[in-house]
A and B are shown apart, each in its own frame.
Chain A
Amino acid sequence: MASRKESGSGPTTVMASTGGTLDSPVKQIQIEGLVVLKIIKHYQEEGQGSEVVQGVLLGLVVDDRLEITNCFPFPQHTEDDADFDEVQYQMEMMRSLRHVNIDHLHVGWYQSTYYGSFVSRALLDSQFSYQHAIEESVVLIYDPIKTAQGSLSLKAYRLTPKLMEICKEKDFTPEGLKKANIGFEHMFEEVPIVIRNSHLINALMWDLEDKSTVADKHELLNLSSSNHLEKSLQLLMDRVDDMSQEIVKYNTYSRNLSKQQQQKHQYLQRRQQENAQRQSRGEPPLPEEDITKMFKPPQPPPRMDTLLIAGQINNYCQNVKEFTSQNLGKLFMAEALQEHN
């Protein structure tokens, strides 16, 4: 993923000049209907189960609005073509698209997700490299499962400036994170999305909506919930397990640290006492030794993973909450209907 950084280096300068404030260069994202359809189609054709599909978003920045006007998919990674050159592929695709007069500016990437599990190290790293190279770039997360339930789920995320700072410094120690005062809530910021279609398309849509039968919207009213919830819970449990492990790791670290601190303290005290004695006897004090050499502090565990896991857990919980609240509504509705009949 990091290799993609270079690909964006060209347009960056162009866009940096057009871009808005440093704080939040993008306030809104406008997606062409075409892009949405392309993403959905890509997943439908290539992704199955928990596999994810990825692709590149193309567009341009207008004031504080990011317009995504086109996209193209990445080919699925297979083991046979290990020497597949992604950069080359991207460059060629963009060049070709330019030939047919399509926006060819790199503005981010998209990825599908499985039950909302996307907060991972890989995503963080690649989004960081994107955002580092192209300040306005976003990652679109498409949730096919939710979409299948009746409502399109497409979300745009950007790393917060704080997280960008941390990633730039690569300081993931507990102290670093504490100093940056960052929590899992402040890792990503969601950018509102507007889907824009041409008027012609809108007209067509209205036309279609009139014609479509109720049966097409049945998915929305599906009352069964246990399957979805079970899956979510399963994933949630796995994350919780990971979290527990991380905490245990951190726990041991801090215990070791405090133990060492104590030892260090004792040592210094003894040294001081001795020196005091020596002074009283008129002897020269003992030479200062490098204490840091004697007490090497234990390696602090990187806390980034913990943060990410927490973010993911939060994500799951939001999902479950959303889902259950919807379902509860549906259930009440069904009950009311039952009574009515």
Chain B
Amino acid sequence: MSRFFATGSDSESEESSSADEITPKAPGTTFKQSLLLSDDEEDTKRVVRSAKDKRFEELTNLIKTIRNAMKIRDMAKCLEEFEQLCRAFLKSKNIVDKEGVPPFYIRLLADLEDYLNQLWEDKEGKKKMNKNNAKALSTLRQKIRKYNRDYETEIAAYKENPQESADEEEEKEPGDSGSSSDSDDEGGDEGVTAKSFLKKKPEPTPEASKFLKTAKGSGDESSSSEDDDDEDWSSDSVHSGSESSDEGDEKTSSLAVVFLKKTLDTEKSEKRLGKKRKPKKKERLEEEAEEEGGEEVEGGWEKVKGGAPLVKEKPKMFAKGTEINIPVVVKKLNEILQARGKKGTDRAAQIELLHALAAIANENNLGQGIMVKIKFNIIASLYDYNPNLAAFMKPDMWKKCLDCIDELLDILFDNNNIFIGENIAEDSESLAISDQPFRVRGCILTLVERMDEEFTKIMQNTDPHSQEYVDNLKDEGRVCGIIDRLLDYLETKGSTEEICRIYLRRIMHTYYKFDYKAHRRSLGLQGETKSEQDQEESEGEDSAVIMDRLCKFIYAKDRTDRIRTCAILCHIYHHALHSRWYQARDLMLMSHLQDNIQHADPPVQILYNRTMVQLGICAFRQGMIKDAHNALLDIQSSGRAKELLGQGLLMRNMQERNAEQEKIEKRRQVPFHMHINLELLECVYLVSAMLLEIPYMAAHEFDARRRMISKQFHHQLRVGERQPLLGPPESMREHVVAASKAMKMGDWRTCHSFIINEKMNSKVWDLFPETQRVREMLVRKIQEESLRTYLFTYSSVYDSISMETLSEMFELEIATVHSIISKMIINEELMASLDQPTQTVVMHRTEPTSLQNMALQLAEKLGSLVENNERVFDLKQGVYGGYFNRDQKGGYQQKQSYQRVQTILAATS
């Protein structure tokens, strides 16, 4: 129920209730009393009245549905509603105690019982009824019998005098239908009701006429008295003082009607219901006459649109003949806006009203200032349309908003003399057409930002695999266009802060897009084949240049840390996306973001994660396997990459978080078109891990304290080992595991065929912009690392090996083989030396065999055992103190244990 409506009926019920309380005195006096009620009094009583009114409203509504159900013989519905009614009645017990059982309630009880009895008698009809209905009928009959016992006297009284109530009902009916159908034909209705009133009470009371007279007194006075009325009627003084006198006339007449009716009401105190309806209706009419934007706007709005009435309505917006000038429009605007945010305000209608107002302003050439102001408000109302911040705007709503912003920007661009700003106070606005520039309150930047956020929300809430998503995504261009325009505008007019903000918006829309134009151009320059189309396309600025310019401005000018952080991250992301690894890395290192990113808010952290991932993938493309692995390690090792990148919620956490948290997390999600392919990410990580881990494992096969480089990779290997049956690899992971196994044996060809094949191409490698180059890099890496692994694993088998053979085996140039082996020798990974003249590697065989390794380990363990043992002796020294010298003993033991090891070693060699 709208507030306006509620208050309206409040004031009315006040009247009726006061009338009730004072009960059937002379109509005149009651009327006077109600009229004389002071505001204070009203305030104190209001709560009670409204409660009562609300309850009765509820009851009557229920009764209405019951009657409808009775008409269609829907017993089940009837029963249901009746139960609700009983409950509602119980709730309103307080009021009922005070006021007595409302007659309409009694009436229903009586009618219902009669009706049920009638149905019950009608055996034929009962047979026809379906099971549910029949059942409901019997239950309801029993219920009502039981229930009615409490109200026997009242029902009896009613039954004695059913005529009266029937009459009343008749009267009630039109009102009901009117309210339910939101009065399309309000005018006609009005006439009917008014007439009926007049019929019933033809002569106006003297008081009323008196009142009329005063109302007619003068323009000013009338408006003031109107205000008084308002307080009486609705307390909500939405009434504008701008009502012109002729409107006042109209109003007063209607007022008269209302008063007339009221007197009548008070006379017939019993007919509470009808009475209540009627004044309410009156009031509604009145509101309509004023064309106020309250809850009734729907009705009003229909009229505005409704063809013929359009002309008639116009004067309702602005009374006929009113000179439409800026103050008037502003006032109107304020009126409309006052309803904003109020419960029950029809937001759609409000938007429409604002549009109409804009049209009027335009028609009357009121200047761009006012237009801008109205546009601001239209956009704001569009945003308000959704009461819940979490919910997303409807795409068409949002598109309307886009149009508005576009128009607004048009105006702003066309008229250089409009100043807008949040800091311009309402009263210092200058909207009038004059030599002075316009000054309008409002911030276009905020609106655009909001628009952008709404866009993100829409994208978040659209199924990414539907055509709808694609359609929505097409609007991204428009969003970018608007942001670009605004950027141009603010560059000339805005403050640095605003520029920073809009720059960030621009960056946010740029950083994740791969600049194919620039990419192609860079290729084209090399190939020197430039088609005309290429030339055309390359007109625009490179996104890299734009990013650079915008980000640098932000680095220099921004004072809020967040914008700068975001800008840096986006910049890095953009660099990484375009394979400018060194710039990206340097920027990341220089920014020191890694140290303090955990203090940032989640969206920034998500951005950071995205950037790190992109950085890792970039490193991989450049062949910096180790860097790639390090960059991806944090994200991948947690196993929550999806969550960390804001690309989806993990099911696992469902029970851990409540609905509220989930909503928040959902809002953080990155729209689908910005997602980083998780499979690609995992594959890059696993392949990097493979290239690092396999040679490492081979090198440290017997090292007891070997550390894993990548836990996740090991996990995958173990999963692979656990398979009872090993078929050909299917998934990306299986491919990598199979490749790892091949690499362990130094079989680079098999490894290569597992990593790069059609399946993997389509799943992973083709997602890179420079697929071919990446693949070549990968093959080379596999060859090199396989060579290393081979040497680690089988060096003990060889006395010497020719580099030529190796180069043939791994299809690497001799120089590369030479450099790899040299590096291994230098790092003391391979105990060998190079024999230059014969181009062979001579193994030194200093590496212990596995048995020797074991023996060494055993020696180590024995050493610690002896140490522990000695500690026991230390404690016992008090007892065995002088038995033998501890040092000697220790030395002896040590020697012995080593001797044993020595014998073992001797035996094996």
Contact = CB atoms under 8 A, between A and B. Distances in A.
Interface string B6-35: 000000000000000000000000000000
Interface string B848-865: 011100110110011011
B864 A237 contact: no
Interface in B400-455: none
A251 B872 contact: yes
Given A247-B872, A251-B872, A254-B876, A226 B908 contact: yes
Interface stretch (A88-96, A104-112, A153-161, A228-236): A228-236
B904 interface: yes
A248 interface: yes
A324 B849 CA distance: 17
A237 B872 contact: no
A244 B875 contact: no
Contact of B851 (A226, A240, A251, A258): A226
A243 B857 CA distance: 15
A117 to B, nearest CB: 16
A337 B570 CA distance: 77
B851 A229 contact: yes
Interface in A312-341: 317, 320-321, 324, 327-328
Nearest to B875: A254
B702 to A, nearest CB: 11
A233 B864 CA distance: 16
* Range of interface residues on A (Cβ < 8 Å): 20 to 34
B869 A247 contact: yes
Contacts of A243: 865
Contacts, number: 60
B907 interface: yes
A217 interface: no
A229 B855 CA distance: 10
A328 B908 CA distance: 9
Nearest to B852: A226
Contact of B861 (A229, A244, A247, A254): A244
A225 B907 CA distance: 9
Contacts of A86: none
A251 B907 contact: no
B903 interface: yes
A250 interface: yes
Contacts of B903: 321, 324
* Range of interface residues on B (Cβ < 8 Å): 20 to 34
A250 B855 CA distance: 27
Given A241-B861, A254-B875, A324-B903, A233 B851 contact: yes
Q: Is chain A's binding surface mostly helix, strand, loop or mixed?
A: helix
B904 A320 contact: yes
Nearest to B907: A324
A250 B865 CA distance: 13
B903 to A, nearest CB: 7
B312 interface: no
A198 B374 CA distance: 122
Contact of A240 (B861, B872, B876, B878): B861
A52 to B, nearest CB: 24
Given A237-B858, A244-B865, A248-B868, A230 B851 contact: yes
Contacts of A317: 900
A255 interface: yes
A226 B852 CA distance: 9
A313 to B, nearest CB: 10
A258 to B, nearest CB: 6
Most chain A CB inside 10 Å of its own CB: which residue of B851, B876, B900: B851
Nearest to B872: A251
Contacts of B850: 226, 230
B897 to A, nearest CB: 10
Most chain A CB inside 10 Å of its own CB: which residue of B854, B857, B869, B900: B854
B435 to A, nearest CB: 96
B195 interface: no
Contacts of A258: 875, 878
A226 B862 CA distance: 20
B868 A244 contact: yes
B640 interface: no
A203 B94 CA distance: 120
B305 interface: no
A240 B862 contact: yes
B907 A328 contact: yes
B284 to A, nearest CB: 83
Interface in B860-897: 861-862, 864-865, 868-869, 871-872, 875-876, 878
A251 B851 CA distance: 32
Contacts of B857: 237
Contacts of B908: 225-226, 229, 324
Contacts of B864: 244
Contacts of A230: 850-851, 854
A142 B60 CA distance: 99
Interface in B712-762: none
Contact of A254 (B851, B854, B862, B872): B872
Interface of A: 225-226, 229-230, 233-234, 236-237, 240-241, 243-244, 247-248, 250-251, 254-255, 258, 317, 320-321, 324, 327-328
9 contacts: A229-B907, A230-B851, A233-B855, A247-B871, A251-B875, A254-B872, A258-B875, A317-B900, A328-B907
Interface of B: 849-851, 854-855, 857-858, 861-862, 864-865, 868-869, 871-872, 875-876, 878, 900, 903-904, 907-908
Query: Which A-B residue pairs are the 4 nearest by beta carbons?
Result: A324-B907, A247-B868, A233-B854, A226-B851
